[in-house]
A = this chain, B = another copy of it.
Amino acid sequence: MRVTVSRRAHFNAAHRLYRKDWSFEKNNEIFGKCNNPNYHGHNYELIASVTGSIDPETGYVIDVKILKDIIKMEVEDAFDHKNLNLDVPEFENLNPTAENIVVVIYNKIKAKLDKNLDLDVTLYETPRNFVRYSGN
């Protein structure tokens, strides 16, 4: 009897989509206005979904306060009010597309969870554009 427990969180950040090893023209061609050298930004909304068995003692798959704390430590404290390209080590050499960000977040949260819990992360870059990763 496996149930999925989800927690919603959010952070605000600036970013720029580009590759240091490409010319400005090539970056513009591929990334368009997302390549603004002065950056733009988003309110990222995050849903972390943890799947596992219900503990018959507590009735919990995971205490949602624990999940909330992991998200705060691994995502909000690390990314909120930051420039992803300049302030977040994971993106020093990784283009901070929504796809790459969701994989980074997945890996950070997964490392803090019990091994028998599955994880799925949905990341909204805007209310209209979002991505999802579940580890494979």
Interface 0/1 of A99-128, CB less than 8 Å to B: 110110000000000000000000000111
Contacts of A33 in B (CB 8 A): 80-81
Report copies per complex: 6
Q: A135's closest neighbor in chain B, by CB?
A: B1
The range of chain A's interface size is: 35 or more
Tell me the dominant secondary structure on chain A's binding face: mixed
A23 within 8 Å of B (CB atoms): no
* A residues whose Cβ falls under 8 Å from a Cβ of B: 1-10, 12-15, 17, 19, 30-34, 36, 38-43, 49, 54, 57-61, 63-65, 80-83, 86-87, 94-100, 102-103, 126-133, 136
Extra contacts, 4 of them, besides A19-B57, A30-B58 (Cβ < 8 A), are A2-B136, A3-B102, A34-B81, A41-B43
